[in-house]
Amino acid sequence: MTTTVTPPASAPAALTPADTTAGTPAATPPTAADRIAHFAGKLAFETDPSDVHADLESGARCVLVDSRGDQAWNQGHIVGAMHLPTAQIVERAASEIPIDMPVVVYCWGPGCNGSTRAALAFSLLGYQVKEMIGGYEYWAREGYPIESATGRIDHPLDPLTAPRGAITCDC
């Protein structure tokens, strides 16, 4: 699925080569308000496996959507997630997810932008949506429950992603 997005009029102008050179600051450094808006904006639209797990455990009202294809879903997915591939969101979402239900989408991991495309599709339909950064990969690496088409998968906690013996990283 290819989606064309036109940036809002308020979007910043394109970066110049000098703005993107490592170690070279932009011509005009961002203001405190710019920095606050940037990071607050990220938190408004992104979440992580630890926060999603805590929300699900607390009974927060949301649906977790795996936007990957059938083969990926069958290989492994988050326990309790709904399988709704990105290509099917437009045709299925309205009949399967109430419009007032907050949605969290995920894909494979940080090397895949499928969850970004899924979040855009839900947004275009009017849903409140967040993208789970790290995706399925980091959910599994943090030791949260996963399953496949054949049942539960035991996956050990990766100490590079979360502290041993702790519920969260406390960040």
* Percent of the chain whose predicted confidence (pLDDT) is above 90: 73
At 157 the pLDDT is 81
φ, ψ for residue 37 (rounded to 5)? Answer: -60, -40
For residue range 48-100, list pLDDT tens digits in order.
999 999 999 999 999 999 999 999 999 999 999 999 999 999 999 999 999 99
Structure tokens at 131: 């993208």
Is the pLDDT at 14 greater than 50, yes or no?
no
Amino acid letter, residue 84: L
Query: Domains (ranges, CATH) in the chain?
Result: 47-153 (3.40.250.10)
d(C-alpha 134, C-alpha 108), whole Å = 8
What does the alpha-carbon distance between residue 111 and residue 35 come to, in Å, rounded to a whole number?
Answer: 25
24 pLDDT band, cuts 50/70/90, is low
Tokens, residue 29: 């450094």
Instruction: Read off the pTM.
Output: 0.80
62: tokens are: 């949301």
**More confident of the two residues 160 and 47:** 47
What's the average model confidence in pLDDT over 23-51? 90
pLDDT of 41: 95
Per-residue pLDDT tens over the stretch 95-127:
999 999 999 999 999 999 999 999 999 999 999
